[in-house]
Chain A
Amino acid sequence: MRRVPLLLLLCGAVAADVQDLQSRVFHARDRVLPALVNVQVVTETFQGGRRRQMTAGGSGVVVSADGLVVTNFHVAGHAKKVFCTLADKTRVRAELLGGDPSTDLAVLRLDLKEIKRLGGSFKVATLGRSEGVQVGDFVIALGSPFGLTASLTSGVISNTERYLSSSQRLPTGEPTGMFNNWIQTDAAINPGNSGGPLVNLSGEVIGINTRAITGDGLGFAIPVDTVKRVYTQIVAHGSVVRSWIGVDRGLEPLGLESEVRGVRVGHVDEGSPAAKAGLRPGDIIQAIAGKPVEAVHLDQIASIRSTIADAPLGKPLTLRVRRGEETVDLSAVTERLGALKLEYFDARRFGLTARPVTERFARQRGLKSTAGVVITGVTGGGPAAAADLQAGDIILKVQRKSVESLQSFRKLYREIQKDMPEKVLVSIQRGQARMFRALTPSKKDEEDDE
Chain B
Amino acid sequence: MRMFASLLLLLSPALAGELEQSVLRSAQASMVGVQARVMRTFTFGGQTRSRRVPARLTGVVIGEGRILTGPLGDDPQNLKVFVPGTEDGIDAELEESGPDFSVITAEGLTAVPLSFKKDWDPAIGEKLVWVGMLSGSLGKWNLIAKSAEVDVLIKDEQTDTLDVYSDPPFGGPVLVQNAPVFNREGRPIGVLILRRSAAGGGRRGGGRQPGLPVIRLASAFSGWLDGSVQRRAVLGVSVEPLGEAVAEALGLTGTPAVVVTQVTPGSGADKAGLRAQDMITQVDGKPMPNGEALRAALRGKAAGDKITIVYLRDAGGGPQKAEVEATLTARDAQAAKERHRARRFGFVAQPLTDAVRRDQNLPADVSGVYVRRVTRGGPAGLGRPTPLRRGDVILKVGEDPTSDLASLKAVLQSLPDGKPVTLFVRNGANTRFVEITPEKPSE
B248 adjacent to A423 (CB under 8 Å): yes
Whether B276 lies near A433 (C-beta < 8 A) is: yes
In angstroms, Cα B358 to Cα A438, docked, is 25
A424 within 8 A of B: yes
- Give the CA-CA distance A363 to B243 in the complex, in Å: 32
Asked if A264 and B433 sit within 8 Å, CB to CB, the answer is yes
Q: Which B residue's beta carbon lies closest to that of A430?
A: B261
- CA A386 – CA B47 in complex, angstroms? 7
Is the CB–CB distance between B49 and A424 below 8 Å? no
CB of A427 within 8 A of chain B?
Answer: yes
Contact call B276/A434, Cβ cutoff below 8 A: yes
Chain B residue contacts of A214, Cβ below 8 A: none
Which of B277, B420, B428 sits near A436, CB closer than 8 Å?
B277
Q: Which residue of B lies closest to A252 (CB)?
A: B433
Which B residues are in CB contact (< 8 Å) with A264? 433
- The docked-state distance in angstroms from the alpha carbon of A124 to that of B238 is 64
Interface string of B245-278 (1 = CB under 8 A from A): 1101110000000010110000000000000110
Among candidates B248, B314, B361, B363, residue contacting A438 with C-beta atoms closer than 8 Å: B248
Is residue B205 contacting chain A, with contact meaning CB distance below 8 A?
Answer: no
A33 to chain B, nearest CB (A): 40
Could you tell me if A423 and B433 are in contact, using CB atoms closer than 8 angstroms? no
The answer to whether A281 and B245 touch across the interface, beta carbons within 8 angstroms, is no
Q: Does B424 contact A (CB under 8 A)?
A: yes
A266 CA to B422 CA in the complex, in Å?
11
Q: How far is the CA of A3 from the CA of B402 in the complex (A)?
A: 57
B320 CB to nearest chain A CB (Å) = 13
CB pair B433 A364 closer than 8 Å: no
Q: In this assembly, does B50 line the interface, its C-beta being within 8 Å of a C-beta of chain A? A: yes
Q: Give Cα distance in the complex from A363 to B245, angstroms.
A: 33
In whole angstroms, how far apart are the Cα atoms of A439 and B50 in the complex? 14
In the complex the two chains form, what is the Cα distance from A366 to B357 in whole Å?
A: 13
Q: A432 and B262 in contact (CB under 8 A), knowing A364-B428, A438-B246?
A: yes
Check B361 against A366 for contact (C-beta < 8 Å): yes
Chain B, residue nearest A388 (CB): B49
B431 sits at the interface (CB 8 A): yes
Bits for B305-320, please: 1 = Cβ < 8 Å to A, else 0.
Answer: 0000000001010000
Taken together as a complex, chains A and B put the C-alpha atoms of A282 and B398 apart, in Å, by: 10
Shortest distance in angstroms between B92's beta carbon and chain A's nearest beta carbon?
22
Q: How far is the CA of A314 from the CA of B59 in the complex (A)?
A: 63
Residue of A266, A363, A435 near B429 (CB, 8 A) is A363
Residues of B contacting A365 with CB < 8 Å?
Answer: 361, 428-429
Number of interface residues of A (CB under 8 A): 33
* A441–B147 alpha-carbon span in the complex (Å): 53
Cα A264 to Cα B433 with chains together (Å)? 9
B residues in contact with A436, CB < 8 Å: 246, 249-250, 259, 277, 314
Of the residues A249, A424, A432, contact of B361 by C-beta under 8 Å? A432
A260 to chain B, nearest CB (A): 12
A431: CB under 8 A from chain B?
yes
B240 touches A400 (CB 8 A): no
Is residue B204 within 8 Å, beta carbon to beta carbon, of the partner chain? no
A434, B261: Cβ atoms closer than 8 Å = yes
Interface contact A425-B277, CB-CB below 8 Å: no
Beyond A423-B245, A423-B248, A425-B246, is A250–B432 a contact (Cβ under 8 Å)? Answer: yes
Known contacts: A424-B249, A425-B249, A433-B276. The answer to whether A281 contacts B50 by CB under 8 A is no
Q: Is A255 positioned at the interface, with any CB of B under 8 Å from its CB?
A: yes
Q: Which residues of B contact A313 (CB under 8 A)?
A: none
Please determine whether A425 and B361 come into contact, CB atoms closer than 8 angstroms. Answer: no
A377-390 CB mask vs B (1 if < 8 Å, else 0) is 00000000011100
Which residues 101-129 of B sit at the A interface, judged by CB distance below 8 A? none
Contact digits for B406-443, partner A, Cβ 8 Å, 1 yes 0 no: 00000000000000100010001111110100000000
Q: A257-B420, A388-B50, A438-B245 are in contact. Are A252 and B432 (CB under 8 A)?
A: yes
Partner of B277, one of A432, A435, A440: A435
| Least distance between A387 CB and chain B CB atoms (Å) | 7
Residues of B within 8 A of A266 (CB): 431-433
A267 lies within 8 A of chain B by Cβ = yes
* Shortest distance from the beta carbon of B39 to any chain A beta carbon, whole Å: 11
Q: Which of B47, B249, B358 has the most CB of A within 10 A?
A: B249
A442 to chain B, nearest CB (A): 13
CA distance A235 to B245 in the complex (A): 51
* Contact pick for A387, options B47, B240, B430, B431, CB 8 Å: B47
C-alpha spacing A282/B261, complex, angstroms: 36
A258 to chain B, nearest CB (A): 10
Verify if A437 is at the interface (C-beta below 8 Å from B). yes
Give A24 to B262 CA distance when docked, in angstroms. 68
A423-B431 CB under 8 A given contacts A432-B361, A434-B277, A435-B259: no
Q: Mark A415-450, 1 if CB is under 8 A from B, else 0.
A: 000000011110100011111111110000000000
Question: Is B45 close to A, CB under 8 A?
Answer: yes
**B430 to A433, Cβ gap below 8 A?**
no
**Smallest beta-carbon distance B427→chain A, Å:** 10
Given contacts A425-B250, A436-B259, contact A386 B45 (CB under 8 A): yes
| B249 pairs with A435, CB closer than 8 A | no
Report the separation of the CA atoms of residues A436 and B359 in the bound assembly, to the nearest whole angstrom: 19
Asked if residues A281 and B358 are in contact (CB atoms below 8 Å), the reply is no
- Contact of B433 (CB < 8 Å), options: A281, A422, A437: A281
Contact B429 A364 (CB under 8 A): yes
Contact with A along B40-74 (1 / 0, CB 8 A): 00001101011100000000000000000000000
With the chains together, A402 CA to B354 CA distance in Å? 30
Q: Which residue of A lies closest to B430 (CB)?
A: A267
Which residue in chain B gives the minimum CB-CB distance to A435?
Answer: B261
Residue of B45, B248, B259, B361 near A431 (CB, 8 A) is B361
Interface residues of A in 392-432 (CB under 8 A from B): 400, 422-425, 427, 431-432
Contact indicator B261/A433 (Cβ below 8 Å): yes
Question: When chains A and B are docked, how far (Å) is the Cα of A255 from the Cα of B420?
Answer: 11
What is the minimal beta-carbon distance from B432 to any residue of chain A, in angstroms?
A: 4
B369 to chain A, nearest CB (A): 18
What is the minimal beta-carbon distance from B53 to any residue of chain A, in angstroms?
A: 13
A323 and B44 CA atoms in complex are apart in Å by 60
Flag if B314 contacts A400 (CB, 8 Å). yes
Closest-CB distance, A148 to chain B (whole angstroms): 35
Q: Among A281, A388, A425, A439, find the residue whose CB has the most chain B CB atoms closer than 10 A.
A: A388
Interface residues of A in 210-230 (CB under 8 A from B): none
Between-chain CB contacts (< 8 Å), 14 pairs: A255-B435, A266-B433, A267-B430, A282-B424, A364-B429, A365-B429, A387-B47, A387-B49, A400-B316, A425-B246, A433-B261, A435-B261, A438-B243, A440-B47
5 new A-B pairs (CB below 8 Å) besides A386-B49, A432-B262, A438-B243? A266-B432, A363-B429, A365-B428, A433-B238, A436-B314
Those 5 A-B pairs whose CB atoms lie nearest each other, nearest first = A366-B429, A434-B276, A438-B249, A433-B261, A266-B432
